[in-house]
Each structure stands twice: as structure tokens, then as C-alpha cells.
Amino acid sequence: MPSEKPRIMSGMKASGALHLGNWMGALSNWVRLQQDYDCFFMVADWHALTTGYHETSDLPQRVSAMVVDWLAAGLDPDRAVIFVQSSVPLHAELSLLLGMLTPLGWLERVPSYKEILRELEQRDIHTYGFLGYPVLQSADILLYRATAVPVGQDQVPHVEMTREIARRFNGLYGPVLTEPEALLTESKVLPGLDGRKMSKSYGNTISLGESNQETTAKIRSMVTDPARIRRQDPGHPEVCPVFALHRVFSPASRVTDIEAQCRAATLGCVDCKADLAATVITRLEPIRSRRQSWVDHPGRVNEILAEGARRAEEAGGQTMEAVRDAMHLTSARTPDAV
Ligand code: SF4
């Protein structure tokens, strides 16, 4: 039975086990959105190839580690369709067709294109697949006729490109594809252990699935206010990554106290970090215990993905029928057409 709720579609590149930054970025929003939307959440394993086509041997492990973390964080397969992109080949078909009508200039102008080329200059990603990833991303969304895509501000241009591609398709072949809206969600950017943005590529993360001891040790190693050399030096919490994490995870009254005590040098960094570690561990406790039960039942995770693929295929199949019809590509499927 089709859902009456508006539909959203979102995905994450298959990057493996998730960290606090992923949780406070997209994932916690997804968990919340499940209440009010018909949700399609996709592990984007093909997208992982756009920048990492040379390292695929651990892709299955990355996919399952990510799904385990999704489920542990509270994604509910009874409310959301959870699936892996490559298990629904319709994404490739629609991407190919949309690629025929997407002007090259649109792709070259995508703000993140040159930025990622610069960031990953040591990798050879001057490829057709990398330039074309916004087309694949558009196909991911349009395949499910999603009416909205949950994104942070920096992702809005991608949704705009999807809308333009849908408009161009509909202008050429008739109104088949749904133009999605960007559903702006608050996503917190967390600092990592070294103060830079928490990211696997910087090796500065706190993972959802690591042990409490590892979390404590990592937080103990975090950089703090560089000007606070001795315990009696007044601190500047506004430049301290430990304080930035307190603001995300600690209760407001505790944050106020820490700020005042840091400035007055009545709280030392060792104690401040111990306090943060205890808070983070308490917040992660339900996720970590749920996670273990998913790790112990990999067969159940596979069943969820198989059922997700089936439901995604069913929804996407309806769109593709209409797309093929509109483009007059149905003759190959009709035996008596020749
Ligand atoms: S007391 Fe806390 S907030 Fe202040 S500098 Fe040390 S770690 Fe940072």
C-alpha cells in the first residue's frame, strides 16, 4: 500500500563504520524524519567508486558496517526502505538516460567538483564517473519520485541540479519526473580530535562502534586551547574543540559552568575531558548496545537489505516504466514490435 506521507530520498557514500560527526550530521536527522516521511535511505556504494574506484576489496565490509551503524542509531526498517544502491540496477539505467540530456557545462560548474579534485589531488579522479556523479545522484532521487531531499546548505546546489535535470527531461518528453525540494536540515559539523572537521580522511574520529575505553583515551588526547599552557592559565573555550563537543553533547547548564570555570582557570583540561568522555559514553550507550545485537545477527541485516532492495526496485520500477514509455524505449521489451 503506497504511503500517504511525502517521500524523501537520501544516501551516504559507503565509507564504513560511522563516527560522531556522521551521527550528528545526517544520521540523527534521518532518524527524526522517519516519523513524518516515507523514507528511502541508500548506501551509495557506486558513489564510493567515483573517488575510490581503485580500492574496492573492502567494499562489502564498508557497506555492512555502515548499515549496522544506521540500525544502531535508530533507523527502523519498518518505517524506512533501507537498501544498497548497486542492488537496484535501475539507478544505472536512469543515470545513463539522464546523462544523454545533461549538458557538460552543468557538471563542470558544480561547486564541489573542483573542490574535491583539489582536495584529492593525489588520486586520479579525472574520470567520466567522477564528473558525472551529480547525474547518478539525480537518478537516485528521481527514480523514487522523492518530493524532498534532506540536505545541509552546502548540498543545495546538488538538489538544484536534480531539479534542472528533471525539468529538462519533462520539457523534452512530458511530465514524468518529480522535481524535489531541498529539505534544509540542521546538521552540526563536529571538530575531530585534532580540531579539524571530524573526518575519516583526517584520522581524527570517534566511532560509534568503538569501546568506551577507546573513546576515553581519544578524548584524553584531544587538542585544547593552545594558549592554555598551565593549569592556572585562563582558557578560551571558544577556540577549544573539547568545548565544542561539550556544546553538542553536554546539558546546557553544564556547558555554562564549563565555560565560566575554564575562563576562571578553576577547571583543568584533564577533568574537562574526563567529563566530556563520560557524557559522550552515556549518550552513545543505547547505540552501542543496539549495535552489538546487529553485529551478532548479520543474517538479519542481510534480510533487511534484501527487503529494502525489493521495495526500492518496486518503487523505482514504476518510474522507469514511465520514463521508458516517455522516451519511446519500450520497443525492445515488446516481442511483436519489429
Ligand atoms: S578546560 Fe575544557 S574548555 Fe577549557 S581549554 Fe581545557 S579542555 Fe578546553
CA 243 to chain centre: 25
- Name the percent of the chain lying above pLDDT 90: 79
pLDDT for 335 equals 57
Q: Which fold is adopted by the domain 209-292?
A: Tyrosyl-Transfer RNA Synthetase (1.10.240)
Q: What is the pLDDT of residue 338?
A: 45
pLDDT for 333: 58
Nearest atom within ligand 1 for CA of residue 273: 7
Cα of 300 to ligand 1 centre, how many Å?
A: 43
How sure is the predictor about 130, in pLDDT bands with cuts at 50, 70 and 90? confident
- Any ligand 1 atom below 6 A from CB of 267: yes
- Residue 88 pLDDT greater than 60, yes or no: yes
Query: Could you tell me if the CB of 228 is within 6 A of ligand 1?
Result: yes
Write the DSSP assignment of 316-330 as a string of letters.
Answer: HHHHHHHHHHHTT--
Quote the longest CA-to-CA distance of the chain.
87
Cα–ligand 1 centroid distance for 225 (angstroms): 7
C-alpha grid cell for residue 62? 564498508
| pLDDT tens, position by position, 235-259 | 999 999 999 999 999 999 999 999 9
Ligand 1 pocket member 8 (CB < 6 A): no
DSSP string, 232-279: TSPP-GGG-HHHHHHHHHS-HHHHHHHHHHHHTT-S-HHHHHHHHHHH
Ligand 1 atom at shortest distance from the alpha carbon of 259? 3
How far, in Å, is the centroid of ligand 1 from the Cα of 214? 20
Choose the CATH number for 7-190+297-337 among 3.40.50.1950, 3.30.1330.10, 3.40.50.2000, 3.40.50.620.
3.40.50.620
Q: Which of 146, 192, 183, 182 is nearest to 24 (CA)?
A: 192
**How far is the CA of 125 from the CAs of 120, 122, 232, in angstroms?**
8, 9, 50
Nearest atom in ligand 1 to the alpha carbon of residue 243 is 3
Spacing, Cα 242 to ligand 1 middle (Å): 6
Which atom of ligand 1 is found nearest the CA of 225? Answer: 5
Residue 135 CB less than 6 A away from ligand 1: no
C-alpha 223/C-alpha 241 separation (Å) is 7
Cβ proximity of 31 and 8 under 8 Å: no
- Percent of the chain at pLDDT above 70? 96
- Mean pLDDT (the chain) is 92
CA of 243 to the centre of ligand 1 (A): 6
The preferred substitution site among 221, 245, 258, 269 for testing ligand 1, maximizing ligand atoms within 8 Å of CB, is 269
Say yes or no: do domains 7-190+297-337 and 209-292 share a fold: no
Domain ranges of the chain: 7-190+297-337, 209-292
Beta carbons of 245 and 53 less than 8 angstroms apart: no
Give me the pLDDT at residue 311, please. 97
Residue 191: all three cell numbers together: 571538530
C-alpha cell at 233: 592559565
Q: Is the beta carbon of 240 within 6 A of some atom in ligand 1?
A: yes
Substitution site in 247, 272, 279 for ligand 1 pocket (most atoms within 8 Å of beta carbon): 272
Give pLDDT, residue 1: 54
How many CA atoms does the CB half-sphere of 214 hold within 13 Å? 10
Say what the pLDDT of residue 336 is: 56
Q: Give the pLDDT band of residue 183 (cuts 50, 70, 90).
A: very high
- pTM for the whole structure: 0.90
* Cβ of 29 below 6 Å from ligand 1: no
User: Cα dihedral sign for 157, 159, 165, 168?
Assistant: negative
Nearest CA to ligand 1 atom 6: 269
Query: What pLDDT, on the 0 to 100 scale, is given for residue 330?
Result: 79
Q: What is the model's pLDDT at position 332? A: 54
CA gap 16, 60 in Å, rounded:
9
Regarding the beta carbon of 98 and ligand 1, being less than 6 Å apart is answered no
In a 3-state reduction of DSSP, which class is residue 295?
Answer: helix
Of 287 and 118, the structure prediction assigns the larger pLDDT to 287
Q: Kindly give the distance from the C-alpha atom of residue 187 to the centroid of ligand 1, in angstroms, as a whole number.
A: 24
Q: Is the pLDDT at 334 greater than 70, yes or no?
A: no
Span 309-332, average pLDDT: 93
Kindly indicate the confidence band of residue 109, based on its pLDDT and cuts at 50, 70 and 90: confident
- Asked if residue 219 has its Cβ within 6 Å of ligand 1, the reply is no
